[in-house]
Amino acid sequence: MSAPSLQAFQDQVSELLLRHRSLLDVLSKTGQSNASVNRAVTKAITECGCIELHATKQSFDMGADLEQAKQLAGTHVNGQLCENCREAVSSEIGRNLFYLSAMANLLDIQLDEVVDKESQKCSTLGLFNLS
């Protein structure tokens, strides 16, 4: 089975969403589930230990080309998520997407369109878009 489109997922969420039909409720759930994603990542570091965070100041070499710059900019992550933590983080991301979809539904926003527009912005702005 292939992954459903964002629109199909949004429709599915809309059908399931009986308990959280209030926008206010959905807003607070979105915030809460976002915090849970961060918490799952933090637990991978502090409780499991499969990944480590070694944060240092980012240094950019202005003379470097984009590919070099990408390699020099550290992610500060050492290691890889173990199977358990990957499952936990993925599941929290899914929950977060659920509530984001619910919010989009209540405000009549199509996520397919959102992703499309954002993707266009990314290709226009290029590598440093997110800085």
Residues 99-118 binding Zn ion (CB under 5 A) are: none
Half-sphere exposure of 126 (CA within 13 A, CB side): 4
**Rounded (10°) CA dihedral 87, 91, 94, 99:** -160
Are 82 and 48 spatial neighbours (Cβ–Cβ below 8 Å)? Answer: yes
Candidates 50, 69, 77, 109: give the one binding Zn ion (CB under 5 A): 50
Residues 61-90 binding Zn ion (CB under 5 A) are: 82, 85
Q: Which is nearer to Zn ion, 73 or 82 (CB)?
A: 82
Distance CA 31, CA 73 (A): 29
Q: Which is nearer to Zn ion, 41 or 44 (CB)?
A: 44
Minimum distance, C-beta of residue 84 to Zn ion, in the bound complex (Å): 5
Q: In angstroms, how far is CA 28 from the centroid of its own chain?
A: 17
Size of the site for Zn ion (CB under 5 A): 5
Minimum distance, C-beta of residue 75 to Zn ion, in the bound complex (Å): 17
**Residue 48 binding Zn ion, by CB under 5 A:** yes
Q: Is 113 helix (H, G, I), strand (E, B) or coil?
A: helix
* Cα Rg, the chain, nearest whole Å: 18
Q: Which is nearer to Zn ion, 82 or 109 (CB)?
A: 82
The residues of the shown chain that bind Zn ion, judged by CB under 5 A, are: 44, 48, 50, 82, 85
